Amino acid sequence: MRTILRKHRLLIISGILGVSAAAISHAAITPYVLTSPVVVAAREIQAYERIEPGDLRTTDLPRKAVPKDHFSEAGLLEGAYALSRILPGQVVMSGHVARGKGEIGLSVELQSDVRCVFIPAGEERAVGGFIKRGEKVDVVFTPKGVTYAAAFGGGQASLVVRSLLVVEVCRRPSSGEFVGVVVLANRAEAEAIASSIETCAVSLLLAPKESFAGESTLETGAWLP
């Protein structure tokens, strides 16, 4: 063993000195390498999956290696949706995520028994158009040619769907004119609304905001205020 060490003494010493020099150089140079924080995936994230706390982490990379459209804070992306598959350790860029439901579609978070349905209505039948997202509305369908007075007096029946959540307010792009709303409804309500739009006059009434979407009810019969 001693003979081997003697023969290769210079080689061993050179190796030790080389490793030491590399370690010292790294320690000396590292403080002068400019880095930037970047957000990377902490696990594999599937396309259209909602990003939750813990799915992302932040690491430092040399500035020259950082993509221009990166994110530097993981918290900004909580609740966003992945537009494509993101692998563990992959840098998350703006093209990988959508931070609003409207960018990825309304159906992403719909429960199996809930539907979105568009209800066309002019301003004169929709509280003057002063309806906003997040408000609740009652929807009244009165057969065309039948006045409210006739319905009130027990005439031809009206359809009333109560306390529907407005998820989108629709206006004409060119003029900003109010043309209707998109609401959440259960399957029975959505089918009743869809079948009544063509044959009935539609009115939207603002409902108390404290009511919840699950409290909506479908009623038929003479409409009473």
Convert the pLDDT of each residue in 174-199 to its tens digit. Answer: 999 999 999 999 999 999 999 888 88
Residue 9 host element (H or E): helix 9-29
Is the pTM above the cut of 0.75? no
Instruction: Report which of residues 97 and 19 the model is more confident about.
Output: 97
Q: 139 and 88, same structural domain?
A: no
Claim to verify: residue 121 and residue 212 sit in the same structural domain: yes
The reply to whether 129 and 97 lie within a common domain is: no
- What percent of the chain clears pLDDT 90, i.e. is strictly above it? 37
| Co-location of 45 and 141 in the same domain | no
Verify that 126 and 189 share a domain, yes or no. Answer: yes
**DSSP per-residue codes, 26-38:** HHHHGGGS-EEEE
Residue 126 lies in a domain: yes
CATH number of domain containing 73 = 3.90.1210.10
- Output b/e per residue, 109-130; b: 16+ Cβ within 10 A: eeeeebbebebebeeebbbebe
Q: How high is the mean pLDDT of the chain?
A: 78
Residue 61 tokens read as 């990379």
Is pLDDT at 7 greater than 80 in this prediction?
A: no
Domain stop point among 50, 69, 104: 104
For 68-72, which contacts have Cβ atoms below 8 Å and span 24 or more sequence positions?
Answer: 69/93, 69/94, 69/95, 70/38, 70/39, 71/38, 71/39, 72/36, 72/37, 72/38, 72/39
User: Do 71 and 168 belong to one domain?
Assistant: no
Are 69 and 131 within one domain? no
Same domain, 118 and 212: yes
- Which of the residue ranges 34-38, 64-68, 81-85, 143-147 would you say has the lowest mean pLDDT? 143-147
User: How many domains does the chain divide into?
Assistant: 2
Surface-to-core class of residue 146, CB atoms within 10 Å of its CB (0-12 exposed, 13-18 middle, 19+ buried) = middle
Do 147 and 92 lie in one domain? The reply is no
> Is residue 5 situated within a structural domain?
no
End residue of a domain, out of 72, 104, 136: 104
Residue 29 lies in a domain: no
Give the range of the structural domain holding residue 54, as residue numbers without chain letter.
Answer: 35-104
* Cα distance between residue 175 and residue 113, in whole Å: 35
pLDDT score for 223: 35
Domain end position, chosen among 78, 104, 130: 104
Answer yes or no: do 125 and 211 share one domain: yes
Sequence letter at residue 167: V
- Tens digit of each residue's pLDDT (9 = 90 or more) over 35-73: 889 999 999 998 878 888 899 999 998 888 888 888 999
Q: How far apart are CA 92 and CA 70, in angstroms?
A: 6
Q: Are residues 76 and 92 in the same domain?
A: yes
Based on the domain organization, do 114 and 216 belong to the same domain?
Answer: yes
